[in-house]
Structure 1
Amino acid sequence: MAAGLGLAATAAALPITQAAQAAETPPKTTSGDKSMGSSTITTKDGAQIFFKDWGSGQPIVFHHGWPLSSDDWDAQMLYFLEQGFRVIAHDRRGHGRSTQTATGNEMDTYAADVAALAAHLNLKNAIHVGHSTGGGEVARYVAKHGGDGRVAKAVLIGAVPPIMLKTAANPGGLPIEVFDGFRAALVANRAQFFHDVPAGPFYGFNRDGAKVSQGVIENWWRQGMMGGAKAHYDCIKAFSETDFTEDLKAINVPVLVMHGDDDQIVPIADSALLAVKLLKKGTLKVYKGLPHGMCTTHADVINPDLLAFFKS
């Protein structure tokens, strides 16, 4: 439990305020020019979703964590592009360069946005890779929208499923007060909170002997501050309270579950170790001593393992 409270230490116990819900934009569908390798689609409720689409070959779709953007996958996008894959990553609604939405900031809509992107790009036989909150998005998308040959495999990295919140059915989860603390810290001083998280538990930079990268910390902060405060606030509920149990049970494709055993953000005992038991074709790979942000700090370890799974 102490490890799971790592991020909570950055959040002050302050009053929480809710931003008002805005009306949804009338539905429409548009797309931008793909010639430069990035573009946007417009969802049925009017949100513009930014995405990158590089290369050719079997598609890999990367789903980022909270409160980041597709830029968090730079080390993987460049690596797998060189390996001959088509690499795709989007900024979740409310994050990065996508619309700073006041509504739809929950898992069903996140998954529907991915389904719209997959349909727009006509993706078949794709591999979906999700980190943290993005792992929940992958689970929901593959379970609800991944049929008809659209999905070949999936990967969950430091991912939130089955459910982070402590409940009667999930006694090992984190108490609601932890996530209330996140919300309070975001409202009180989002800029400072988004510095403290990467400087501390996200990358394990708070551990003795850690090799701290100021550039990595600043890049995390940059990505976080690009997004919308309301969407980020709402997403805390989405990543902490969504129960992915039935999603995991419904997935029929092979799934690789990767998790660092020193993950201070999503404790392994109440995530990966439970998730793999619910998957029909799940494989667990545990990384001793690695942090939540291991795709960045240890890309040299993670990327070859991903490649081996993709080619298996």
Structure 2
Amino acid sequence: MSTATVNGITIGYDDTGSGDDVLVLVHGHPFDRSMWQPQLEHFRGSGWRVIAADLRGYGESTVVPGVTPLSAFAGDVAALLDHLNVERFVLGGLSMGGQIVLEFQRLYGERTRGLILADTFAQAETPQGRVIRNDMADRLLREGMAGYAGEVLWKMVARHNAGPVSEHVSRMMNNAPAEGAAAALRGRAERPDYTELLGTITVPTLVVVGSDDEFTPVSDAEYMHERVPGSALVVVDGAAHMPNLERVDVFNKAVEELLAQA
């Protein structure tokens, strides 16, 4: 584990493999960079340098209470990669991480060689959704993470994938700092609509989703795929919201095909 001080905070990150071909992976909520361990292990052996960091408020990075907009997360990613002297790279993210990828593309699109949008969606939050996210933020600050983590586990991971995968996901959620998770929820409630951005993406793009995902169903992935020119769509059978952990081989194969084009 390494740390870097950027944008006034400390970020914990993994940087494995070597070479000029760089894959950067952004975790979702309420997880940490350990969700990408199967991908770090796989792709560092195939000629790629792979970087995965804990977002501010999660894992081993600084917890910043209040509101964390997606632009702050994207700015942290950019600053960390500046610190590591990485200029261009393939950028992937899952769920909230996918929305951070879209925000990064909006702000720093000249730096990306390819995109991976996993189990995410592009539209702005609805009025009802903003209320729900802010109410959940209030609840996490009041009660901590345990109740929420128990309620959503079998939406994050399909029940037939119970075992080490569900234990890992449960552990990440329970260990997430409530203040950091709440700040991210408030920031996501105010996120912009990325629909118009989708049509401007010119780098190779993979849209991937679990077939059983209730949070971001296949229809959300199809929405993005239809609007990103030349994008690939992969639906991972038997996975819910965490296909990179639930169906590692299928997910990695889809990413391999994307990397071959980037």
Same fold (TM over 0.5): yes
Gaps of 5+ in 2: none
Matched AA of 2:60: R
- In 2, Cα distance between the equivalents of 1:93 and 1:229? 12
Conservation of the 8 A alpha-carbon contact between 2:26 and 2:94: yes
1:192 aligns with 2:147: yes
Partner of 1:244: 194
1:153 aligns with 2:114: yes
Matched AA of 1:305: A
Conservation of the 8 A alpha-carbon contact between 2:213 and 2:240: yes
Determine which of 71, 79, 99 is the counterpart of 2:62.
99
Counterparts in 2 of 1:162-181, with a 5 A limit?
162-163=123-124, 165-166=125-126, 175-176=129-130, 178-179=132-133
Q: TM-score, normalised by structure 2?
A: 0.89
Aligned residues with identical type, % of pairs:
28
Residues 241 and 288 (structure 1), Cα distance of their counterparts in 2 relative to 1, 3 Å cut? farther
1:53 aligns with 2:44: no
Matched AA of 2:206: L
Q: TM-score, normalised by structure 1?
A: 0.75
- In 1, Cα distance between the equivalents of 2:208 and 2:189? 19
Partner of 1:279: 228
- In 2, Cα distance between the equivalents of 1:299 and 1:67? 20
Partner of 1:182: 136
Aligned residues: 258
Task: Give a deviation string over 1:132-173, Cα, whole Å, max 9, x none.
Answer: 1000111111221131xx32101101013233x336xxxxxx
Q: Give how far 1:82 is off.
A: 1.4
- In 2, Cα distance between the equivalents of 1:248 and 1:106? 20
Gaps of 5+ in 1: 1-37, 168-173
SS state at 1:48 partner:
strand
Residues 121 and 99 (structure 1), Cα distance of their counterparts in 2 relative to 1, 3 Å cut? same
Q: Give how far 1:175 is off.
A: 4.3
Residues 197 and 273 (structure 1), Cα distance of their counterparts in 2 relative to 1, 3 Å cut? same
Conservation of the 8 A alpha-carbon contact between 2:137 and 2:186: no
Partner of 2:97: 134
- In 1, Cα distance between the equivalents of 2:132 and 2:67? 23
1:231 aligns with 2:193: no
Matched AA of 1:48: T
Conservation of the 8 A alpha-carbon contact between 2:67 and 2:184: no
1:201 aligns with 2:155: yes
What value does the CA root-mean-square deviation take over the aligned residues?
Answer: 2.2
Matched AA of 1:152: R
Conservation of the 8 A alpha-carbon contact between 1:266 and 1:292: yes
Residues 145 and 104 (structure 1), Cα distance of their counterparts in 2 relative to 1, 3 Å cut? farther
SS state at 2:215 partner:
coil
- In 1, Cα distance between the equivalents of 2:31 and 2:199? 28
